[in-house]
A and B are shown apart, each in its own frame.
Chain A
Amino acid sequence: MASTSSTVPFYGSIREEDEHNQMKQQQSASTPTSSTAAPQTTAPVKKKRNLPGNPNPDAEVIALSPKTLMATNRFICEVCNKGFQREQNLQLHRRGHNLPWKLRQKTTKEVQRRVYVCPESTCVHHDPSRALGDLTGIKKHFCRKHGEKKWKCDKCSKRYAVQSDLKAHSKTCGTREYRCDCGTLFSRRDSFITHRAFCDALAQESARIPTGLSTIGSHLFGNSSMALGLSQENSQITSLQDQSHQSSNILRLGGGSGSGSHFDPLISSSNPSPFRPPQPPPSSAFFLGGGSNQDFDEETRSHHSLLQNKPFHGLMQLPDLQSRTTASSSAAAANLFNLNFFSNSSSTSSINTSNITSNQNNHLMISDQFSSGNGSTESTTLFSGNFMSDHMAAGMPSLFNTSMRNESSLPQMSATALLQKAAQMGSTTSGGSSLLQGFSSASPSGAKNTSFQAIFGGGSNGSGDVLRFQMENETRLQHLMNSLANGNAGLFGGSGGVAAFGGNCTTGGHEQEAGGFGGFNSGLCNMDEARFQHNISSAGSLGGSDRLTRDFLGVGNMVRSMGGGVSQREQHHGIDMSSMDPEMKSGSSSQSFDGGTL
């Protein structure tokens, strides 16, 4: 008989020896084995592969009863009835009772190889020629194939007969994935298949398109190609507007059909000169920051279609604005202002340089009349994100482009956002609108914080906080403005940048102040001043003031709810920025802002 070591490879099991010994012990102890050793057939010669189930022909074949196989504690202590799986353990236990005990010594005697057959007569392993080489193996086999599946996975409710199988499964449950064509992921193959059935069922539903509208039945189950058709349309629109994947938001742009679509060509015709050719230093810096030409183009386009109704006044003004800038006004810079300008222009019916004042006037009137002094105007707040996002896009290379573009590509407020806004207007006036309160409460707050940090860069974290604090307190405005101005000056080294942001802050502060006082005149005057001082940058400052106002009101929530997950991402960026090293931050951003805001 082959030695243990030589047989191990045959059975591919190292437990062999242990089981073997134990089995031997068991038999010698005459533990019941109902169907005793099967006829000692020398196993057939078919020994092609040494797989489990092809035992060594010389091995002793043992058949155990199902009961024996399933038994867990076969060695019972006669004193306390405690059961043990192994004889050795029982013997050790007996010592505690002061019973005679005997640990089996390592036998030097050559051991007989044993193999085990499955008691299930229909099973392939019932045949001695397919006997399994170890006792644990046959136990598990019997449980798995012929036993009850007692162990259930909590996560996916798959059942196992052997506990260790469940343990193994639970380690991987939920980690492996199957992906359906519809994009759904599955951890388990069978649930994947189940889903496929469901998915296919739906697909089949969809495939049954009725040819006519003759019977109700056909309507019921037919005609679902809509989704397909729609998505195609959507994708077209998407590609039209933007190559990015932010379809849902951009779709809305496309949804603007009438206005949205006819702007594109117009814009591209009026824009090319500033945008297409690579520009001299300032603008090229901008472009570098913003990514590729094309990239930027997309972005602007989305902006344009964003401001559906009146962007052209703004566009017309481009030359004006440019001529007014003292420094070499790069096209990119102009564009930046343009965008800001647009974002502002959304509140006014028409815009020209002289009109900026009236624009502000409108703000005044509205905020004055609308809701006592929170200085919010519906539409000005709408696109207030743009300013920030533009700068971000300029300053932060392609990294942030998508998210930025995404946010800024919200063409208009969703109905939900409008309702929220209406509720806020109502609540500020009356202090507690019963009608819309449930609705407005749904909006989380948090956007404002972020936007501030984003605007003023990480360079002045502190000032951002101060700002917010101040805003909330509505006091010590002077301090607020100072800190803001300081922060910005430090941040954006370029003169243009300072001008723009300085104006930005002051006006913002004033507007806020005005809001706080309910009267708007002083705010107006100051804003005008600021604007006239930095003539072109006033466009930027308006945008800025809008945003400040908005954030002060907490209306930023709206944007967030509109953007959904997107703005969430954006928040992160904002935070990232602010968490960067201030010095580095100011360095990099001032550079890009120079290019951008000059």
Chain B
Amino acid sequence: MGGMVQDEGSSSVTSSPLQSFSLMSLSPAAQLMSPPVTWLRELKSDERGLYLIHLLLNCANHVAAGKLEHANACLEHISLLAAPDGDTMQRIASHFTDALARRVLRSWPGLYRALHPPSAAAASRLPPEALLARRHFFDLCPFVRLAFLVSNQAILEAMEGERVVHVVDLGGAASDAAQWAALLQALRARPEGPPHLRLTVVHDQKEFLDVAAMRLSEEAERLDIPFQFHPVLARLENVDVEMLRVKTGEALAISSVLQLHTILAADDDPAVAGHQRKTPSPFTKNSNNVQLHRIAQMSHRGTLGELLEKDPVNGYSPSPDSATSSPLASAPSPKTESFLASLWGLSPKIMTVAEQESNHNGPMLTERFTEALNFYAALFDCLESTAPRMSVERARVEKMLFGEEIKNIITCEGAERRERHEKLEKWVQRLELAGFGRVPLSYFATLQARRLLQGYGCEGYKVREEKGCLFICWQDRPLFSVSAWRFKRFE
């Protein structure tokens, strides 16, 4: 069978390479062979794209099932087709395979550690490249900018008439002093005059906090706004609300831009969450091999359709992620709950939450993989529409931002997996459970968002308002959500 595939692929001129492709999809055995290089190279962009998707999904299934040889064969194929500077699908594929390969490698912690010494990873400070990538993302795509704009507008409206305002920025990688510079300007323009503003920023990099403090203080002075900057040097999951030093009498606003999901990881920390699941042995982050072997018993055949349909790791959930199927109550997340409850306890007048609109927190690798593939494909498409292929900035965003997130989603488990994006519906549940009441975004906020997009000059981005929350979409696919909340007393 396999031989035939290669024969046909290489010898007959009249038949399309796709023919062999299709045959291959019927026979997983073919994938164990050395890749038929000749026809692979002749694939056109779209054929290649489809083939890459096919291979990627196959590969993810193999990795999830612990069939490392199959996975290896897939990776070998993909390596011939993927390219970090190629077309969109090639780029996507190169980042996803990187993540998959790392995941496989993690089953041998020794190998993995040797290749990725923890010293480099342990450094909490982000490399400058990553910060640059953030910056480019901010510039190239309107998502973060819109999140800032809408959050600020909600804060501004909630703080109308307040004389003493305390804003807490929960920080995170997407956090940016630009948001607060903008808020300062907006407060300055208030008809009732600017309030006393106190800004608390949680961040795990001292450099970031120093720069933000300096810049914002300057700005506030220039605008003649009474301003205090209060840095909290910590990771969000380690933050105690006491550290935020919220005082009575001040009107509190909390802002989180693409950050709240990181607290979900804390629940996966064995020290915190324990092993409450049906897992027979304590699964720590480096014991994936156990789980791989376990899953390896699952049989597997591989047409694309079957792959898509099948769920090889069904019923196996090694970590307390929130599975899409299970209701929130059955997936206890004490740390998350207590954190949200403590925020609620501060009785904020407004809390804005911007999050990725995708579920990258499923317990199953395949599930996460597919979700991430779709989500990041849209993001890569965004970049494709704005930046030329050779753009250094684009490559940087793809590698240092998207690529790192993909790696985190695919490769990591346990507390290390911090990119636990979840859809708004999940956050609504959580936040309502914690006692927050939804604040519909104002007409004006939505209007502003729309107009910002109009002025952005790139068709394809859309803003959709749903139940007072805002979705920022690429084409018809929502990619980010912005919602606003406030302290609500329990009845």
Contacts and interface: CB of A to CB of B under 8 A. Distances in A.
Interface in B459-484: 459-460, 474-477
B208 interface: yes
Given A426-B305, A429-B305, A257 B390 contact: yes
Contact of A415 (B92, B138, B447): B92
Given A201-B178, A422-B54, A435-B57, 15 more contacts: A157-B442, A186-B451, A197-B186, A217-B210, A219-B128, A365-B15, A415-B377, A416-B378, A418-B46, A418-B89, A422-B53, A434-B311, A438-B374, A564-B459, A564-B460
A216 B54 contact: no
B44 interface: yes
A433 B177 CA distance: 44
B392 to A, nearest CB: 9
A247 B50 CA distance: 26
A328 B191 CA distance: 75
Contacts of B490: none
Interface string A425-438: 11111111111101
Interface in A233-273: 233-234, 237, 247-249, 251-252, 254-257
Contacts, number: 291
Contacts of B152: 198
**Centre residue among A205, A237, A308, A561 by max chain B CB count within 10 A:** A205
Given A418-B50, A433-B308, A435-B57, A378 B18 contact: yes
Interface of B: 13-19, 22-23, 25-26, 42, 44-47, 49-50, 53-54, 57, 87-89, 92, 125, 128, 131-132, 135-136, 138-140, 145, 149, 152, 157, 160, 176-178, 181-182, 185-186, 188-189, 191, 205, 207-208, 210-212, 215, 303-311, 366-367, 370-371, 373-374, 377-378, 380-381, 384-391, 393, 442-444, 447-448, 451-452, 454-460, 474-477
Given A194-B185, A201-B185, A444 B476 contact: yes
Contact of B308 (A156, A187, A198, A434): A434
Contacts of B391: 230, 233
B22 A415 contact: no
A382 interface: yes
Contacts of A226: 135-136, 139-140, 393
B306 A348 contact: no
B254 to A, nearest CB: 20
A310 B456 CA distance: 35
Nearest to A228: B139
Contact of B135 (A220, A256, A430, A565): A220
Nearest to B23: A369
Contacts of A159: 191
A366 interface: yes
B44 A227 contact: no
Interface stretch (A332-340, A354-362, A465-473): A354-362
A377 B382 CA distance: 26
A192 to B, nearest CB: 10
A575 interface: no
Given A180-B455, A257-B389, A414-B88, A422 B304 contact: yes
Nearest to A367: B22
A224 B138 contact: yes
A192 B131 CA distance: 31
Contacts of B378: 415-416
A565 B303 contact: no
28 contacts: A157-B160, A185-B454, A197-B186, A201-B181, A216-B205, A220-B135, A226-B136, A230-B386, A248-B385, A349-B42, A366-B19, A370-B22, A379-B18, A415-B88, A415-B89, A419-B374, A419-B377, A422-B57, A422-B304, A426-B304, A428-B305, A432-B309, A434-B311, A436-B308, A438-B371, A439-B370, A561-B475, A564-B459
A423 B54 CA distance: 10
B305 A377 contact: no
Given A157-B444, A362-B18, A365-B15, A224 B50 contact: no
Given A233-B388, A234-B386, A418-B50, A439 B475 contact: no
B37 to A, nearest CB: 15
A197 B188 CA distance: 9
Contacts of B15: 358, 361-362, 365
* Interface size range on A against B: 35 or more
Interface of A: 154-157, 159, 180, 182-187, 190-191, 193-195, 197-198, 200-202, 204-206, 213, 215-217, 219-224, 226-227, 230-231, 233-234, 237, 247-249, 251-252, 254-257, 308-310, 346-350, 355, 358, 361-362, 365-366, 369-371, 377-379, 382, 412-416, 418-419, 421-423, 425-436, 438-439, 442-444, 561, 564-566
Given A248-B460, A421-B50, A412 B45 contact: yes
B377 A183 contact: no
Nearest to A149: B191
A216 B47 contact: no
B185 A198 contact: yes
B185 A230 contact: no
B16 A349 contact: yes
Contacts of A193: 189
A433 B389 contact: no
A220 B45 contact: no
Nearest first, the 3 closest Cβ-Cβ pairs linking A and B are A183-B455, A429-B305, A197-B185
Interface of B is mostly: helix
B359 to A, nearest CB: 9
Contacts of A217: 207, 210-211
Contacts of B386: 230, 234, 248, 251
A413 B46 contact: yes
A291 B279 CA distance: 70
Nearest to B366: A435
A523 B444 CA distance: 57
A413 B380 CA distance: 12
B353 to A, nearest CB: 20
A206 B139 contact: yes
B22 A369 contact: yes
Contacts of B19: 362, 365-366, 369
A435 B211 contact: no
Contact of B454 (A157, A183, A254): A183
Contacts of B135: 219-220, 222-224, 226
B305 A366 contact: no
Contacts of B131: 216, 219-220
Contacts of A156: 443-444
Residue from B46, B57, B215, B385 having most chain A Cβ neighbours under 10 A: B46
A154 B381 CA distance: 38
Contacts of B388: 230, 233-234, 237, 251, 254-255, 257
B18 A205 contact: no
A415 B136 CA distance: 21
B389 A216 contact: no
A487 B185 CA distance: 64
B25 A362 contact: no
B61 to A, nearest CB: 9
Contacts of A198: 149, 152, 182, 185-186
A442 B477 contact: yes
Nearest to B185: A197
Nearest to B460: A564
Contacts of A201: 178, 181-182, 185
A438 B13 CA distance: 39
A527 B26 CA distance: 27
Given A248-B458, A564-B475, A435 B377 contact: no
A213 B452 CA distance: 31
A377 B18 CA distance: 9
A378 B476 CA distance: 22
Contacts of B205: 216
Given A157-B442, A256-B389, A418-B49, A216 B211 contact: yes
Contacts of A378: 18, 46-47, 50
A201 B458 CA distance: 21
Given A230-B393, A369-B22, A429-B303, A247 B49 contact: no
